[in-house]
Structure 1
Amino acid sequence: MRWGRTYFGVQALAGALWWVAVFTAPIVREITLGSLNPVAVAAFDIPLFVGGSVLAALGVKAAAVVSTCWTGVVATGLAGYATVTAEAGWGVVAMVAATVGSVFALCLVLLGRIPTDWLVRGPFAFRPAAARPTAATHVVSTFGQIIVFWGLFLVVIPLVARFLEQRWAIALPVPAFVGPVGVAVLVLASALGIWSAVVMSTLGNGTPLPSAMATSLVIAGPYRWVRNPMAVAGIVQGIAVGLILSSWVVVVYAIAGSLVWNYAIRPHEEADLERRFGDQFRRYRDTVWCWVPRLPTA
């Protein structure tokens, strides 16, 4: 709870300083509010965002809820406004970041923790694959998942992000060589992802999908050098797509995905593996690193 209240205190100070800048620096007003009337916006935002954050920092839980909800409303409204008018793009970036921070802080204030276990419930709960399907069936299922997930996370979402980045006028200049580098990195990362998927589905008797996980611990192929080669491949692919599109937003999106996976998903996945495979997984975890490739000792 203390860290949540601390965040709201910092947010209140940042919000107050931002409003001072809005009324004293035209450039700040232009890039964050566009043509919106700052007085009209301030009439709502100062009491609900700044004032609400102050009260939340003092321990008023209802104020934390109000401040978080208002931050989300402003982020959504600004995103719509920026998409229609091509103004206030950096205001959207700031409010989206504030919304994410506020949600995390609200969880700490209300629950005392960030409930990452909610992410692995229902259809995303960890379950071993059914025993009947053959290795060929698992391979086909795995490649079906690759088509869907790569299409969504490496094509659709990045293209939408790139469009919004351009529309909101928040794109940054990048060197010309970045695109070709991104293509090379994408090819290598994709090869790693496919190799990892084939090994997982043929030797693990399962798929990468949490609802049909491998029933055998896989420590062959790329899994000999790094514990999560598919995650490594996915993150690098996302960054590579960002380079190809010359989009810092897509690069940030990929890095944010790595943080979510590492701190929210991986602990639950590894706890499940430890429950199912015991000492075999513990020995593997102690000798093979999660993110950085390491030559096996034996």
Structure 2
Amino acid sequence: MQGLAGALWWILVPTVPAVRHATLDGLDPLWTAVLDLPLFVLASALAAVGRRWAVAVVTPWTLLVTLGMVGYATVTGQAGAGALAMIGASAGSLGAAMLLRWGRIPVERAMVGPVAFRPARRTEGSAPLRATLAQMLAFWALFLLVIPAPIACAERRWGLSLALPTTVAGGLSIAGIVLIVAASTLGVWSAVTMAQLGRGTPLPGAMAHHLVIAGPYRWIRNPMAVAGIAQGAGMGLLLGSWLVLLYAVAGGVLWHVLVRPAEERDLAERFGQEYVRYRARVRCWLPRG
């Protein structure tokens, strides 16, 4: 897919001025093509047909070009679409490289240290609740402020922001605030329930000692994930940033595809049939009708 997308892009660059302007702008297409066609398009195709050595060519090249395009777009305010496309290409290259190397994306290699699956050590008194609230505030600061703010700034700097009428932008901001408040309420409710009944925290490195099926966990298995994604979407609406909205959706997809299976395997190992029955009865994202 990456090789085909790259080939299609190089067909559009010389034939569609709008594509060339949005993705390259002041960069010379000829000199860019001399390097990119063999190192990206051809190398991607070779990797796809089983030439594993080509992965060592296309992945570093993609990351290098991505850094260059992000820097160029940030300094000049031009070719923002090219920078965004290369960020997607880098994610694809890294994912494809791992699939070729291991046949899967080995999430467990990243589940070390504070994110390794293990029960909480301190379960007495209010220790789980204090730890849970501290974790929640740290995650809110990181995923709702530290990451979305530069994304929204880059969107404006790269010329990718949408020009919305004032009334529409104001309505989206209000909707974002409402969504953030509602999602935060769900997140706090879920965290407090986890700490009080499970005697642990939502963080894998200090997991609950008891299976929690009360509170919001009666209706969905992962209310804190739902709350986090909704909070991110609310920030996107509040900031008027479609890239922050995309960031929230992408985070949900990555969590569902990569993190959730590992977490559910751990829960099944620790709680056995109790968790298996719970998983069969309660859905992951949406309550049963």
- The residue number in structure 2 matching 1:5 is none
Query: 1-side partners of 2:75 and 2:123: how far apart?
Result: 50
User: Which runs of structure 1 show a deviation greater than 4 angstroms over 4 or more consecutive aligned residues?
Assistant: none
Query: 1-side partners of 2:4 and 2:273: how far apart?
Result: 49
Secondary structure of residue in 2 paired with 1:92: helix
Secondary structure of residue in 1 paired with 2:27: coil
Percent identical residues: 52
Query: 2-side partners of 1:116 and 1:71: how far apart?
Result: 22
The one-letter code of the counterpart of 1:34 is D
- After TM superposition, the structure 1 = structure 2 runs for residues 156-235 of structure 1, keeping only pairs within 5 Å, are 156-174=146-164, 175-176=168-169, 177-235=171-229
Deviation at 1:153, TM superposition (A): 0.3
Deviation at 1:105, TM superposition (A): 1.5
- The residue number in structure 2 matching 1:102 is 93
CA contact (8 A) 2:73 2:158 kept: yes
* TM-score normalised by length of structure 1: 0.92
* TM-score normalised by length of structure 2: 0.95
- The residue number in structure 2 matching 1:139 is 129
Q: How many residues align?
A: 285
- The residue number in structure 1 matching 2:118 is 127
Q: Deviations over 1:155-189 (max 9, x none)?
A: 11111100000011111244331111111111100
CA RMSD of superposed structures (Å): 1.4
The one-letter code of the counterpart of 1:27 is A
The one-letter code of the counterpart of 1:56 is A
* 1:257 is the counterpart of 2:257: no
Secondary structure of residue in 1 paired with 2:199: coil
Structure 1 gaps, min length 5 = 1-9
Deviation at 1:110, TM superposition (A): 2.1
Secondary structure of residue in 2 paired with 1:120: coil
- The residue number in structure 2 matching 1:4 is none
* 1:42 is the counterpart of 2:42: no
Query: 1-side partners of 2:250 and 2:18: how far apart?
Result: 29
Deviation at 1:275, TM superposition (A): 0.9
Which of 268, 272, 286 in structure 2 is aligned with 1:292? 286
- The residue number in structure 2 matching 1:80 is 71
Deviation at 1:271, TM superposition (A): 0.9
Structure 2 gaps, min length 5 = none
Query: 2-side partners of 1:158 and 1:212: how far apart?
Result: 27
